[in-house]
Amino acid sequence: MEGLDSMISKGKDTFWGFLGCEFISGNGQEVKIALEAKAQHTNSLGIIHGGVLTSLMDQAMGMVATASKNVDACVTTNMNVHFVSPMKQGRLVVTAIVIHEAGRSLTTEARIHDSAGILGCISTASFRVVNNK
């Protein structure tokens, strides 16, 4: 999708690139991104920092919201996160979907799994379409 391609190409010099995100697949119904989590992504306990996990889910949900509405930008207006299992270094995959749309607002859901399929966290978020005109 053109909007997703544009986001990814612009992302290398933004927080997306800083984190080390990788685009796997996406359309207006589902987006998958990944991160090869390394030592710099961990906290003092040696597990992946909650801020990294939250940022990954926010990124994936923003991408699916933008793709679903076929617009240039959406912004997060609310986000809820549930950490269910500690995540360790290695490949993490985030799957985001749109669960509700109403006018310029969307509600999304994301889940992060590690390479063994263990669910690490779940998030829901609300997004608002940005009117750039």
Domains present along the chain, CATH in parentheses? 1-132 (3.10.129.10)
Q: Specify the pairing of strand 30-37 against strand 21-26.
A: antiparallel
**For the whole model, what pTM was predicted?**
0.90
Q: What is the pLDDT of residue 14?
A: 73
Q: CA–CA separation, 2 vs 8, rounded Å?
A: 10
Question: Per-residue pLDDT for the chain (133 aa), expressed as one digit of tens each?
Answer: 556 666 666 666 777 787 889 999 999 999 999 999 999 999 999 999 999 999 999 999 999 999 999 888 899 999 999 999 999 999 999 999 999 999 999 999 999 999 999 999 999 999 999 876 5
- What's the Cα-to-Cα distance from 28 to each of 25, 70, 81, 90, 95, rounded to whole Å? 11, 8, 22, 28, 13
Cβ count within 10 A of residue 10: 11
Which helix (DSSP H) or strand (DSSP E) does residue 13 occupy? Answer: none
The one-letter amino acid code at 29 reads Q
pLDDT score, position 17? 80
As given in the structure block, the two tokens for residue 71 are 């617009």
